[in-house]
């Protein structure tokens, strides 16, 4: 049946409306799409171009070359050597396990090192380069480079690693570097981005740690183009950083090596100081260790051996160790009494072998007594009773003030870690720290360097240099930075009566050169090289027992300080031998040998020694010379 014309017209209108609506919608959508395309391609072109460049271009830090360290004569003490390594960037590698499996077929991977790398890959940002293998050979590096297309995210690199060619001789002074730890980062308010690079090395102890910032330098940057697999295609530009500063220290390597060899069999420390400038010419703690072991990652076996050694090779005894100074402190007590006008050099004190104070007997080392003693004879023969009496007259406040003026109880500013302050005790100190009142017996003990008094070998050397010169000489380790000379430690007048200093110096001369002096057996035979010194024996237990009858750990410490030549002081020396026994028998001969070696600049002639010692000294020189040569050869082999 045919539809009416009216129905056809209505149907036609309906179709036309729908077509218009659909066409309008299509046109609107097309317009919207055109606008969006214009917006993205024109208005946001720069933004998308930047995003594309960020995917194509990487900006990477260029670690700076660490500053070198040289000795007094310009010999290298710490240097940088080429080191080959393989790094991985996680987000460029894809399947990390698969890439490492391929890498393991080309290069032998250390399991412990690989475990650390896997933790870093998991914990750090995906764009951070992580070291997979370090200190590989050139052949290993070449194999990885040839197979680069099959190793996405893997990059063979040539970097620098720290090396200490002098080995153990400078371990306690220069220290060593190691990978940045969380503890290192926690100490820094705003860590340099370099420190975020896995395995980046920073100074851990010694000069390396105390002067980390100038030694590290400033990082550079480079822009590199990478492909879809993260492989570097080309370097676009580079901004070089600044290499670390080069440091020259005051230590004389030949003397440092000799002192190490001379102290080798002892748990000991020795400091040699220039009286004019304060320069440390030698600063030795024995036994020592090879710092290169720590740079390369010390094994648990080697580290345990260092920790379990009863002679404690890791601490720097020369600046960190503190000991009762024993009779080497008697010059402090003498000067305090003279300056306080509580005694004259000619005044005598009778020594019957003890002094009774508050119903307690304080004994002299010579139980039969010394008889009448004045300043000169009491220092020469180290009479204790004379100094007990000086303490009673002078008081602990004056004694401690003099100790600080001479450099004891003071933390000296040196570029080494754990420099000890020592202790020059006062009444206020005991009340605050011990919660007790100062008693007269404390002053008596302090007068001979026992009781609460503590000093490091460095401080004893400073004390000796100040007595020798009358100036507040301060120790200096850094001689120059990038060739620029650093201020010396010449010092100013201590404002101590020169006549009082002269009396003490004469008494110290008698210690070493008078037949009744406690160090006469270790005298110098050449008149122009004669030294002035003082022996010391520091008790480590209250009971008086013969050292040979007790275990090593319970024996007294042996000490000796001296300056030389007497008429024109050039060097000051301090020696401490832990549990060595008597200062005159153990420490004084060592200090005499070190003094002559420093003054002559080489093995001294046998004529510098008393005739009775020359045969023994000849054999000792030959042995030490041989041992130094062997140590140098071993260090070269390890390097």
**Which residues have C-beta within 8 Å of that of residue 577, sequence separation ≥ 6?**
263, 266, 267, 268, 557, 558, 559, 586, 587, 590
At the topology level, CATH places domain 253-633 in: Beta-lactamase (3.40.710)
**Angle, alpha carbons 362-366-370 (nearest 5°):** 95
pLDDT tens-digit map of 510-536: 999 999 999 999 999 999 999 999 999
Give the lowest-confidence range in 22-26, 257-261, 536-540: 22-26
Phi/psi of residue 24, nearest 5 degrees:
-65, -40
Print the SS3 string covering 65-96. CCCCEECCCCCEEEEEEEEEEEEEEHHHHCCH
- What does the mean pLDDT of the chain come to? 89
598-612 pLDDT per residue, tens: 999 999 999 999 999
Residue with tokens 């000051």: 572
How many CA atoms lie within 13 Å of 590's alpha carbon, on the beta-carbon side? 33
End-to-end Cα separation, the chain, in angstroms: 110
Q: What is the mean pLDDT of residues 312-330?
A: 97
CA 109 to chain centre: 32
The torsion defined by the Cα of 71, 72, 75 and 80, in degrees rounded to 10, comes to: 40
Token duo for residue 558: 């042996």
Q: Does the pLDDT at position 196 exceed 70?
A: yes
pLDDT at 529: 97
How far does Cα 186 stand from its chain's mean position?
Answer: 20
- Write down the pLDDT at residue 367: 94
- pLDDT value of position 50: 47
Q: Does 433 score more than 70 pLDDT?
A: yes
Is 638 exposed, middle or buried (CB count within 10 Å of its CB: 0-12, 13-18, 19+)?
A: middle
88-124 per-position pLDDT tens digit: 888 888 889 999 999 999 998 988 888 888 888 888 8
Q: How confident is the model at residue 186 (pLDDT cuts 50, 70, 90)?
A: confident
pLDDT band at 9 (very low <50, low <70, confident <90, very high): low
Q: What is the CA radius of gyration of the chain?
A: 36
590 pLDDT more than 90: yes
Same fold, 61-225+243-249 and 253-633: no
Q: Which residue has the tokens 């000890």?
A: 420
Neighbours of 524 (CB within 10 A): 24
Sign of torsion, CA 51 53 58 64? negative
DSSP state of 587: I
Residue 545 reports pLDDT greater than 80 = no
Give me the half-sphere count of Cα atoms (radius 13 Å) on the Cβ side of residue 256.
Answer: 28
> How far is 209 from 415, CA to CA, in rounded Å?
8
Does the pLDDT value for residue 1 go beyond 70? no
Helix, coil or strand: residue 424 = coil
Q: Stretch 166-191: mean pLDDT, rounded?
A: 87
pLDDT in the model for residue 51: 44
Residue 296 has pLDDT above 90, yes or no: no
> Which carries the bigger pLDDT value, residue 611 or residue 539?
611
Return the H-helix or E-strand segment holding 114: helix 111-123
Phi, psi (degrees; rounded to nearest 5) at 379 = -75, -40
Q: Can you give the pLDDT at residue 412?
A: 97
pLDDT above 70: residue 271: yes
CB 316 within 8 A of CB 170: no
* Beta carbons within 10 angstroms of residue 37's beta carbon: 10
Interatomic CA distance for residues 588 and 580, integer angstroms = 11
pLDDT tens-digit series, residues 438-470: 999 999 999 999 999 999 999 999 999 999 999
Closest CA to 565 of 531, 600, 542: 531
Q: Rounded to the nearest 5°, which phi and psi values hold at 57?
A: -120, 130
pLDDT tens per residue, range 48-64: 454 444 456 667 777 89
Which class for 459: exposed (0-12), middle (13-18), buried (19 or more C-beta within 10 A)?
buried
In degrees and rounded to multiples of 5, residue 407 shows phi and psi of 100, 5
Position with higher pLDDT, 194 vs 360: 360
Lowest mean per-residue pLDDT among 18-27, 157-166, 287-296, 597-606: 18-27
Find out whether 617 and 604 touch, Cβ atoms under 8 Å: no
Peptide bond into 322 cis (omega under 30): no
CATH architecture of 61-225+243-249: Alpha-Beta Complex (3.90)
CB burial of residue 476 (10 Å; 0-12, 13-18, 19+): buried
Question: Of 395, 483, 631, nearest to 74 (Cα)?
Answer: 483
Q: Taking the CA atoms of 74, 78, 83 and 85 in sequence, report the sign of the dihedral they define.
A: negative
How many degrees, rounded to 5, is the angle at CA 197 between CA 195 and CA 203? 40
Q: How far apart are CA 566 and CA 569, in angstroms?
A: 6
Q: Which of 532, 476, 482, 542 is nearest to 504 (CA)?
A: 532
Determine the Cα–Cα distance for residues 504 and 330; give it in Å rounded to an integer.
10
pLDDT band at 233 (very low <50, low <70, confident <90, very high): low
Give domain limits for the chain. 61-225+243-249, 253-633
Higher-pLDDT residue of 10 and 68 is 68
Distance CA 161, CA 636 (A): 16
pTM of the model: 0.86
Contact 559, 537 (CB under 8 A): yes
Q: Quick one: which of 182, 177, 181, 183 has its CA closest to 202? A: 177
Per-residue pLDDT of 122-169, as tens digits, reads 888 777 788 898 888 888 889 998 898 889 988 888 888 899 999 999
Distance between CA 396 and CA 402 in Å, rounded?
10
Per-residue pLDDT, averaged over 260-286, amounts to 97
Angle formed by the axes of helices 253-263 and 588-600, to 10°?
A: 160
Centre a 10 Å sphere on the Cβ of residue 346 and count the other Cβ atoms it contains. Answer: 9
Q: Is residue 122 packed enough to be buried (19+ CB in 10 Å), middle (13-18) or exposed (0-12)? A: exposed
Strand partners, 160: 82
Q: How many CB atoms lie within 10 A of CB 547?
A: 17
Q: Which residues are catalytic?
A: 327
Element containing residue 226 per DSSP (H, E): strand 220-226
Output the pLDDT for position 121: 87
Helix (H) / strand (E) element for 432: namely helix 427-433
295-304, 546-555, 614-623: which has the minimum mean pLDDT? Answer: 546-555
> pLDDT (tens digit, 9 = 90+) per residue, 473-505?
999 999 999 999 999 999 999 999 999 999 999
């Amino acid at each position: 049946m045919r539809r009416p014309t009216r129905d056809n017209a209505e149907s036609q209108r309906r179709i036309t409306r729908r077509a218009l609506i659909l066409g309008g919608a299509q046109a609107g959508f097309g317009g919207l799409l055109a606008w969006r395309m214009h917006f993205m391609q024109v208005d946001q072109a720069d933004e998308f171009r930047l995003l594309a460049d960020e995917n194509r271009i990487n900006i990477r830090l260029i670690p700076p070359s660490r500053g070198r360290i040289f000795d007094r004569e310009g010999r290298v003490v710490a240097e940088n050597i080429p080191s080959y390594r393989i790094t991985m960037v996680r987000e460029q590698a894809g399947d990390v396990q698969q890439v490492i499996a391929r890498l393991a077929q080309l290069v032998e991977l250390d399991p412990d090192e690989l475990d650390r790398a896997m933790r870093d890959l998991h914990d750090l940002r995906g764009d951070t380069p992580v070291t997979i293998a370090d200190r590989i050979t050139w052949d290993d590096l070449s194999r990885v480079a040839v197979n680069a297309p099959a190793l996405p995210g893997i990059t063979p690199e040539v970097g620098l690693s720290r090396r200490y060619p002098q080995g153990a001789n400078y371990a306690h002074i220069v220290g060593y570097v190691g990978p940045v730890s969380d503890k290192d980062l926690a100490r820094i308010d705003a860590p340099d981005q370099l420190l975020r690079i896995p395995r980046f090395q920073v100074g851990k102890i010694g000069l390396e740690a105390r002067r980390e910032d100038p030694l590290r330098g400033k990082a550079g940057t480079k822009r590199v183009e990478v492909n879809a697999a993260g492989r570097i295609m080309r370097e676009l530009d580079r901004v070089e950083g600044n290499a670390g500063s080069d440091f020259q220290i005051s230590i004389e390597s030949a003397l440092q090596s000799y002192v190490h060899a001379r102290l080798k069999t002892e748990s000991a420390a020795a400091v040699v100081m220039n009286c004019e400038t304060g320069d440390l010419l030698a600063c030795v703690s024995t036994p020592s260790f090879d710092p290169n072991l720590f740079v390369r990652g010390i094994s648990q076996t080697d580290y345990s051996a260092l920790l379990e050694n009863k002679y404690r090779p890791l601490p720097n005894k020369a600046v960190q160790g503190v000991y009762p100074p024993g009779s080497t402190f008697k010059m402090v007590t003498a000067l305090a009494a003279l300056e306080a006008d509580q005694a004259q050099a000619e005044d005598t004190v009778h020594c019957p072998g003890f002094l009774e104070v508050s119903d307690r007997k304080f004994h002299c080392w010579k139980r039969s007594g010394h008889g009448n003693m004045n300043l000169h004879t009491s220092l020469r023969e180290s009479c204790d009773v004379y100094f007990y009496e000086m303490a009673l007259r002078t008081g602990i406040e004056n004694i401690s003030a003099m100790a600080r003026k001479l450099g004891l109880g003071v933390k000296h500013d040196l570029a080494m870690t754990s420099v000890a302050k020592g202790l020059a005790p006062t009444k206020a100190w005991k009340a605050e720290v011990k919660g007790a009142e100062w008693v007269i017996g404390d002053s008596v003990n302090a007068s001979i360097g026992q009781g609460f008094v503590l000093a490091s070998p460095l401080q004893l050397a400073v004390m000796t240099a100040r007595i020798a010169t009358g100036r507040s000489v301060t120790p200096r380790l850094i001689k120059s930075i990038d060739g620029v000379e650093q201020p010396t430690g010449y010092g100013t007048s201590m404002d101590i009566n020169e006549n009082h200093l002269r009396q003490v110096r004469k008494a110290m001369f008698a210690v070493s050169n008078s037949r009744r002096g406690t160090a006469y057996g270790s005298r110098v035979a050449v008149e122009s090289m004669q030294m002035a010194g003082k022996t010391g024996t520091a008790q480590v237990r209250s009971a008086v027992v013969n050292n040979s009858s007790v275990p090593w750990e319970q024996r007294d410490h042996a000490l000796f300080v001296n300056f030389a030549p007497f008429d024109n002081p050039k060097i000051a020396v301090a020696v401490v031998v832990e549990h060595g026994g008597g200062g005159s028998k153990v420490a004084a001969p060592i200090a005499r040998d070190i003094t002559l070696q420093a003054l002559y600049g080489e093995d001294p002639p046998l004529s510098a020694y008393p005739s009775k010692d020359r045969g023994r000294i000849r054999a000792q020189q030959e042995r030490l010379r041989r041992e130094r040569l062997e140590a140098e050869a071993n260090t070269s082999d390890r390097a």
